[in-house]
Amino acid sequence: MFSVDPRAVPSRSAHAQGVKTLPRNCCAGHLQDHGDWPRALVIDLWGSATMRTAGEEFAMALHLAGSRAALGRQIRTRQRH
């Protein structure tokens, strides 16, 4: 079994790739095939792909949803004593 630290995904390089190339390729393919931009999009995120690409697909999903990753920020959690 493997796990991914959610604070480390997407990596900076995966984020750069995920917001630059992947959405363009995804939407351009639909435009070419159907003559119109997609009206809806479903992105199926898998753990193995996320580990392999350091989160490129996750970065693309966030970007297409109008969100962005908090790169390099530490998530503060409350600890119980």
Give per-residue pLDDT as tens, 37-64.
888 878 787 878 888 888 888 888 888 8
* Higher per-residue confidence, 33 vs 25: 33
Convert the pLDDT of each residue in 5-24 to its tens digit: 777 888 888 888 888 877 77
Which span out of 18-27, 29-38, 69-78 was modeled with the highest average pLDDT? 29-38
Q: In whole angstroms, give the CA distance from residue 36 to residue 23.
A: 15
* Helix extents (H) in 35-78: 47-53, 56-64
* Contact criterion met (CB below 8 Å) for 61 and 45: yes
Which residues are CB-contacts of 38 (< 8 A; sequence separation ≥ 6)? 27, 30
